[in-house]
Each structure stands twice: as C-alpha cells, then as structure tokens.
Structure 1
C-alpha cells in the first residue's frame, strides 16, 4: 500500500520496528569497544542495510526522525558511536583526535565485517537481512564518512597522502549537509580545528548518491556560504541527485532528533521532506521500487515551497 503525504510525495505504509542497543563490537585499535544500535522492521525479508554515521559529537541514539522512518520503510539501519562523540569526551591532547575521520571509516568497516553478528543479536532478525545491499549515509561529519566509503579522497593531515578508503560492499551513499572541498575556501577556524577538511577530492566517487543541502546552511567553516555543501554533488561523478531544502539550515529542520535543542530551523515539513525523499531514494537505489522516487523527481522538479530535486 502507498500513502500520499502532505508534501505531495508518496511512500509505503509504515511497518512496526524494533531497536536493540548497545551491541558492543571489540575494536582494540580504537582503544574502546564500538557500540552499535540496530533498528529494523519487524516484518519482511531481504531487507537492505543503511549504515549511518552521526555528525560531530553525536551518538547512536540520535537521528531518530530519519532512522525510524527508514526502518519503518523496510531497511535495517545500523548506527555506531564514533570517537568524536561527546560521550567519550576525549581530552584535547588525545593522540586519536587528529585521525577522528579515519577512525570513523574503520568503525564502519568493523560494522560491515560483523553484519552477521549484529543480525543475530536482534530478536526476529536472523535470516532477514540482505548483506549485499548496503547504503552508507551520514549527516555533516558523518556525510564525509559515508563519502569515504564510496571513493572520497581526503588528504591525511599527518602523512600528506590521500588513501583510497572506499569499500566495495557499499553500493551507494546519502550525504546530508556535508562539507565541500577545502583549500582557500576554508575559514581559519576550519583549517586549525578540522584539518581533515583541508583537501577533499570528490572526483573518484562514481557510485550512485543523493546529496541533501539546505540553502540557508551558512556554516562557519567556509567562505562560500551554503553552496559549499553541494560540492559532493557537483564535483563527483556517476549518477547523482541533489535535494535542496528551501530555508534549511544545518539540521535540515530537525533531523538530528525529536525536539533536539541544536536545531536552529525547526520545521516538521522540512523534516518530512527529507524523510520522504531519502526513503524514496533508498527504495530506488536498492532496487525495491522506483515509483516513489519517480514521483519525487516530478513533484520537486519545478517550483515547490519545500525544496528542489535535481539529477545528473
């Protein structure tokens, strides 16, 4: 059954979900176990996987508006708490800090290595996951993490090299409010405190991807303004789509959590737009059904009060 939303977009009828946390994976290289949360539909088989990376300082309990929506739409969503989380509160002189971005990719690879273990830890889930259909998604810093898994090259500020950290187990990506290229477009603050943004090369990304950007996302990290967060779309190759959220700031209306205090542009309609377009894209890119995605492309191709969807 398909339901029609007030945005003019269509989507599947939601199903009930189950969420299990924390599931601890041994990860001695990072100095702490990797804590993981799995949220899944209670029905269905051959369920694709969304590997979600949180924004800087966040954790596995965040982003419920997206996680709940995707899971209720037929996806197993896996979240981890990365070392930059406030829950770790690493001291400023912790030697792991300069390589936060790299540890994140290792965390995601660890999750991919242990998909069978995680599946077995969720009651009723064993035998229902499709390990061959994995999409990496992330918000802000997490968007870079998702990008690295599909070919983004980041010059390591310590070694000066740009290693290929892509993983063939990831078929596509969703990057939400994510950093653009570095260089002279970075502010002094970003160059000093976020050195992993100094040199990002999107040209090696060929996997399908959806980029979501707010046209009011004026971050203090760049001199270019909101257009900076569209770079993952404009500078990468392959089949790409860009959802521009009208009036959207960094949290795109409130995707980081229900009633989250960090949201500066709280708007349930914006959140609904992001929920529906991202779910439609997930269903499209994993081969479930193109109907909702084709409808979104039609509805958002012209003048729409909430956003615009472009493809290349």
Structure 2
C-alpha cells in the first residue's frame, strides 16, 4: 500500500474508508492437486496487524496479458483489500498464459477447473495458514468472500450458487459452496443463447448460465461503458444480468465511464485496460472494500456510509439494491 492517496484520486476521496495498514505478500504457496494438470499455486496478501481477519479469494480474468491472468494480477485490489482488513488469496487458474495449456472441448478456458480451484483453496485454508508463519491464528475461516473479474466473475458466480446448463446436452454443473458468505462480481457475464454474438458462442460454447439459485449476497460491479460486441450484441446492461437474474440480497454498482477494466483493477498501467484512471479505480477499491467490510465484519456500517457518500457524487457512479 502507498502512504497517501494518488494525486489524481479526485472526488473518490469522498468515499469513506477505514485506516490502512501495511501489507505483506507471500508467494507461491503450492497446494498439491493430484487430479489437476498442475499443482495449484496461490499468493496471499494480508495486513501486518490484526486478528480474526476475514478471507477474500480472487479469481482472475483471462485478458490478453502474459502475467496478469495469474496470481501476479489484481494487485490494485489485493493490496487495497488487505490493507483494510482482509486476507486475500489468489490462485493461478489453468486458463492463464502462465501455463498456456490447451483445454478440452466443452472445458474451454478450463472453466470447471477454475471452480474446483476455489473449492481446493477453501479445503486448504489450514495448509495456507501453516505455510505462512505470520498468519498463524489470524484467519477467520467462517467469514469468506469470493471475488472475480471478467471470466473470473463467472467463476465467482458459480461459487455463489449459479449453475451452468450445457447448451449441448443439458448437463447441469453446480459447484456453489456454502462456506462462502458474500461475493464481488466484477464485470460479470449475462444471458447466453441469442444474447451472445456469433463470436461469443464460438468462444464459450459450454456457456449456459442459470442465476436462479445464486442466493449468496453479492455486489455486482459494472462499467456503464463496458460494451463487448465480441461477446454480445447487447450493451453494458448485459454485464448486470447476474444482479437482475439472481435472488436477493444483491447490490448493483455502476461505475461511471468505466469499461471492462473498471479503471485498472487487473494491474497497474495495464495495456489491456481501456479506461485507466486513478479516480475510477479508487472508487472501485473503496466501494468494494466497504461492501466486503459490511458483509464480513458483523455490525460494520461501511457499505451504508459509502453508498450515502456516492449519492453525492454522480460523476463516480450509482448503486441500487434488492433484498
């Protein structure tokens, strides 16, 4: 974390946030995974002080970079969340260029393996704690959230209870996990079928989302300029489908002027970020932190305070909610 806010943070500084703590990063931790093509590597970022710390697992996106689609990405979120009171765990999924592995037909982007990675992390929290001496006795293993961006948003949605119904044979994949108490879905994926472009159907032929049973509370974060013609003929509203198609409680955060990168969540000055901006990124950092604190720290009013502050700054975005 930095000792002060970026000089170009703008009005995002009006979104209240608790005091930051210096952070540590420990990687790689290698978790044995005999049924996987590779063992599972994870990175942990955590505050230098504090106990009973909730856990946030980040599922990275795909993107075009050589390194950010792995545990090396999403530092702008991982460090910020850790500095404000969370233990952040980042697995490297098999879909990233770090491995550059071909995926079997029907398993494009190793999408089911991604979900299994999340379950393996949950099953291995004791091993992760034991691997990092500075973490001993500091995890609250009953307060866990999942976050994901882009392709990782679909991985997060599955962990939160969404199902995939195969367009080929109707096979239902359900890998939700009740140990996860909340989620942050960043630029999620919407309806399939005619809602996908021809290229989109070629890219994700397995994709058949069903959000009816995504009951776990979640914050859905969308950019109001996130238009993805390679994926869908619809506009930015397609990315908000996980909010509208799932049961409450859910919150929908629109980030003003944001495209798929949400200001730069995947990495500092990343070439693939089309909407790089310290103010936009700071708004995402602060608002997601506030949501996670209220979701995982019982009695914390950070989210309510942040939403009230955002209402005074329409240039940053807006929030709607459903119970």
- The question of 1:17 aligning with 2:27 is answered no
Q: Is contact 1:283–1:289 with CA below 8 Å preserved after alignment?
A: no
Q: How many residues align?
A: 308
The corresponding residue for 2:85 is 74
The corresponding residue for 1:295 is 305
Distance 2:294 2:313 in 1: 23
Map Cα deviations across residues 112-170 of structure 1 (whole Å, 9 max, x no partner): 11001101111311100001110011000101111101110112356531132111111
- The question of 1:213 aligning with 2:219 is answered no
- Normalising by structure 2, we get a TM-score of 0.91
Give the CA deviation at 1:96. 8.1
Distance 1:62 1:153 in 2: 26
- The question of 1:63 aligning with 2:74 is answered yes
Deviation larger for 103-112 or 157-166 = 157-166
Q: Which of 215, 223, 227 is the equivalent residue of 2:237?
A: 227
Q: Is contact 2:95–2:109 with CA below 8 Å preserved after alignment?
A: no
Higher relative contact order (CA 8 A, sep 6+): 2
Please, what is the CA RMSD of the aligned residues? 1.8
Give the CA deviation at 1:23. 0.8
Distance 1:136 1:303 in 2: 28
- The question of 1:39 aligning with 2:45 is answered yes
Tell me, what secondary structure is at the counterpart of 2:173? coil
- The question of 1:88 aligning with 2:94 is answered no
Give the CA deviation at 1:287. 2.6
Distance 1:159 1:103 in 2: 19
- The question of 1:142 aligning with 2:142 is answered no
The corresponding residue for 1:243 is 253
* Long gaps (5+) in structure 1: none
Give the CA deviation at 1:109. 0.5
Give the CA deviation at 1:284. 0.3
Q: Which of 278, 281, 287 is the equivalent residue of 1:271?
A: 281
Distance 1:308 1:115 in 2: 35
Give the CA deviation at 1:265. 0.8
Distance 1:129 1:159 in 2: 42
Give the CA deviation at 1:98. 3.2
Distance 2:285 2:42 in 1: 22
Map Cα deviations across residues 211-270 of structure 1 (whole Å, 9 max, x no partner): 000010011201111100001111110211011001100001111101111111111101
Distance 1:264 1:71 in 2: 26
Give the CA deviation at 1:291. 3.0
* Long gaps (5+) in structure 2: 64-68
Map Cα deviations across residues 189-226 of structure 1 (whole Å, 9 max, x no partner): 111121233x2111111111000000100112011111
Deviation larger for 131-140 or 24-33 = 24-33
Q: Is contact 1:297–1:310 with CA below 8 Å preserved after alignment?
A: no
Label 1:38 to 1:159 Cα distance change in 2 as closer, same or farther (>3 A): farther
Distance 2:80 2:157 in 1: 22
Give the CA deviation at 1:94. 4.8
